[in-house]
């Protein structure tokens, strides 16, 4: 760690110097959006370097204390040095997670999609439970969430929803949630109180901004305006401003009904489409890498990644990392970051298990 290689400190410093050099030219400021993006990148890099250097200084102080304690034969000083090292653990962990969030697109905000699957009303209710779980998680992380589209189920729950999650590295965390989530419980919709299994799928895409060029030909778009669905209220407005866009070459369909203005809904839908196309390009590149390196696993949409069992016992188990938690209430209340970080670590090490082998 002290060499700087693990966190690539030297290259980060060189990048900051390069950005400072660019900022010295007048033309740097002619594109305000681009300038803001580069300055944001500089601030992010600077924060990581500051934390790393502070960690190095603290570790050096602890090492010096330990050496003095050993030379003097002072057990109290040894305990103090050990306590100093223990206090560094959260910072080390934070930097390690940041290192794992280093792939293209990881730093971006995210677009999160949840769709109910097999299981009827139970699946729709399960999809809504997942929506609540991710909203609670985002709140714990300090992220801002906006529901841009939601389709309620006739009896209970939701058929689908799309949520914009704005925050540093939101996509990096959420990409490990892509796949099918399985729930086993006593159904509250079964008069005979039988155990039911329900499925819901989760998708995540980087929320790309204008600094990433995604070319979309207007001739390739099929644009429809329609009446917003749902019950209205805080998140859904009953107007004729909803916009549905289909990208004909890829078959990708996006919809937005959150805004009262049709113009704003179209702009948001186009932003979502750009995110989907960007994610598609990332997946294409990842597929090419996987073809050359069979030790790396890529989680495809439709793969069961996690089981949530509420009956006859209580357990959340990630089928890729084998990580488990018995406190299902805490997990469903949004305490899921440890599972996300375990996925990132296992993925980086090429240690992801085949989730289909554990599917029941």
| pLDDT at residue number 286 | 65
Higher pLDDT, 240 or 159: 159
| pLDDT at residue number 232 | 45
pLDDT in tens, 275-316: 888 888 777 766 754 554 433 333 344 468 999 999 989 999
Q: Are 208 and 214 in contact (CB under 8 A)?
A: yes
| pLDDT at residue number 77 | 81
pLDDT of residue 139 exceeding 60, the answer is yes
pLDDT in tens, 17-73: 998 888 888 888 888 877 887 887 788 788 778 878 887 888 888 888 888 888 888
| pLDDT at residue number 211 | 53
Classified as helix, coil or strand, 242 is: strand
CA angle 107, 110, 111 (to 5 degrees): 160
3-state secondary structure 185-241: EECCCCCCCCEEEEEEEEEEEEECCCCCCCCCCHHHEEEEEECCCCCCCCCCCCCCC
CATH number 3.30.60.50 given to 109-357: no
Q: Are 109 and 165 in contact (CB under 8 A)?
A: yes
Q: Are 259 and 236 in contact (CB under 8 A)?
A: no
What are all long-range contacts of 336-344, with beta carbons under 8 Å and residues at least 24 apart? 336/133, 336/137, 337/137, 337/140, 337/141, 337/173, 339/176, 339/306, 340/173, 340/174, 340/176, 340/177, 341/97, 341/100, 342/318, 343/176, 343/318, 344/97, 344/100, 344/101, 344/172, 344/176
- Note the CATH number of domain 9-100: 1.20.58.410
Helices (H), the chain: 9-23, 32-72, 75-100, 120-141, 170-174, 262-292, 328-332, 337-349
Q: What are phi and psi of 282, to 5 degrees?
A: -60, -40
What is the rounded CA–CA span in Å between residue 348 and residue 297?
10
| pLDDT at residue number 291 | 54
pLDDT of residue 127 exceeding 70, the answer is yes
Q: Are 117 and 199 in contact (CB under 8 A)?
A: yes
pLDDT in tens, 65-120: 888 888 888 888 888 888 887 777 777 777 788 788 888 788 889 999 999 988 88
pLDDT in tens, 193-236: 889 999 999 999 888 765 556 778 888 888 888 766 555 444 44
| pLDDT at residue number 216 | 83
Higher pLDDT, 163 or 72: 163
Q: What is the DSSP letter of 247?
A: E
Neighbour count for residue 304 (Cβ, 10 Å): 19
| pTM for the whole structure | 0.65
50, two tokens: 């500051």
- Domain boundaries, given as residue ranges, for the chain: 9-100, 109-357
Partnered with residue 309 across adjacent β-strands are: 184, 315
User: Residue 240: which pLDDT band, with cuts at 50, 70 and 90?
Assistant: low
Average pLDDT taken over every residue of the chain: 82
Pairing of strands 221-226, 304-309: unpaired
What is the rounded CA–CA span in Å between residue 194 and residue 201?
23
Name the nearest CA neighbour of 148 among 115, 106, 200, 113. 113
CA angle 296, 300, 305 (to 5 degrees): 90
What is the rounded CA–CA span in Å between residue 308 and residue 326?
10
Q: For tokens 């996925």, name the residue.
A: 343
HSE-up of residue 283 (Cα within 13 Å, Cβ side) = 16
Classified as helix, coil or strand, 359 is: coil
User: Residue 237: which pLDDT band, with cuts at 50, 70 and 90?
Assistant: very low
Task: Please indicate whether the domains covering 9-100 and 109-357 agree at the CATH topology level.
Answer: no
Higher pLDDT, 188 or 234: 188
Mean pLDDT, to the nearest integer, of 309-335? Answer: 95
């Amino acid at each position: 760690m002290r060499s700087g290689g693990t966190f690539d400190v030297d290259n980060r410093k060189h990048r900051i110097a390069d950005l400072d050099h660019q900022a010295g030219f007048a033309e740097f400021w002619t594109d305000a959006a681009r300038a803001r993006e580069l300055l944001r990148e500089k601030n992010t890099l600077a924060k990581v370097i500051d934390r790393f250097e502070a960690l190095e200084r603290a570790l050096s102080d602890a090492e010096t204390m330990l050496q003095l304690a050993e030379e003097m034969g002072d057990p109290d000083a040894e305990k103090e040095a050990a306590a100093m090292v223990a206090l560094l653990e959260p910072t080390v962990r934070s930097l390690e997670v940041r290192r794992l969030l280093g792939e293209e697109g990881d730093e971006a905000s995210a677009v999160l999609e949840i769709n109910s699957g097999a299981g009827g009303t139970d699946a729709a209710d399960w999809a809504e439970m997942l929506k609540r779980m991710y909203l609670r998680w985002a709140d714990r992380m300090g992220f801002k969430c906006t529901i841009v589209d939601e389709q309620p189920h006739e009896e209970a729950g939701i058929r689908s929803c799309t949520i914009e999650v704005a925050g540093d590295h939101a996509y990096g965390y959420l990409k490990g949630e892509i796949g099918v989530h399985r729930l086993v419980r006593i159904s509250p919709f079964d008069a005979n109180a039988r155990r039911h299994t329900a499925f819901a799928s989760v998708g995540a895409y980087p929320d790309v901004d204008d600094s990433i060029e995604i070319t979309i030909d207007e001739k390739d778009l099929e644009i429809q305006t329609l009446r917003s669905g749902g019950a209205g209220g805080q998140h859904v407005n009953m107007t004729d401003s909803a916009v549905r866009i289909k990208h004909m070459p890829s078959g990708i369909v996006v919809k937005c009904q959150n805004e009262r203005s049709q113009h704003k809904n179209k702009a948001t839908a186009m932003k979502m489409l750009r995110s989907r196309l960007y994610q598609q390009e990332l997946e294409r590149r990842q597929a090419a890498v996987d073809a050359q390196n069979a030790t790396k696993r890529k989680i495809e949409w439709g793969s069961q990644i996690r089981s949530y069992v509420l009956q006859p016992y209580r357990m959340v188990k990630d089928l890729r990392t084998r990580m488990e938690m018995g406190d299902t209430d805490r997990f469903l209340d949004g305490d899921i970051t440890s599972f996300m970080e375990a996925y990132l670590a296992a993925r980086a090490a090429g240690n992801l298990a085949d989730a289909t082998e554990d599917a029941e």
